[in-house]
Amino acid sequence: MTAGLATTTEETGLGSVIRWLAQGRKVTLFVNFRRAKTELPEWLSEMDDLYAEAPQEVRQIHSLHAVGDRDLDEMWKLADSLKERDACVWVFSKLERDELLKGLKLYLAWYARPSLLKMQFEQGSKELAKGLLTGVDVVVLQVPGDEEYHVFANPEATIDWREYESQR
């Protein structure tokens, strides 16, 4: 446990945790399409890029889209297709998308690279970890090269992991 966060390894598959966490929470998938070197799905627009106002040197290598209000299976397929590209972060929150983005405004850059976000949760300060989880219940990361995925829960969120274990 680092910075007041719990890390969990799941062996039964990411999909089961994603589905369970989505119950009663809003799901946002932060995707860095430029880093992944892939085209936007036709249902997304360049205008939705949260980095649209960033300096050109940042926009050349990074983009950040907060994908929500989509079918969970569609989001899963997108995330699965990019899992080895260090480009997707799952976020579960009780907040609506706009309210979540407003709370995370100062921290959104960390959500563009799962490997860097994981490093901050594990090695960063408690204050930074708290800011990174502003309005967030749980963050799920798929980091290229890692056998497991990583779950970071906000200590202020009420999540009963025993309930998940009992449903498996």
- Say what the pLDDT of residue 168 is: 67
Which residues have C-beta within 8 Å of that of residue 66, sequence separation ≥ 6? 28, 29, 30, 48, 50, 97, 100, 101
pLDDT tens readout for residues 33-83: 999 999 888 888 777 899 988 899 998 999 999 998 888 988 988 998 888
Q: How far is CA 132 from CA 26, 82, 90, 111, in A?
A: 17, 22, 13, 9
pLDDT band at 93 (very low <50, low <70, confident <90, very high): very high
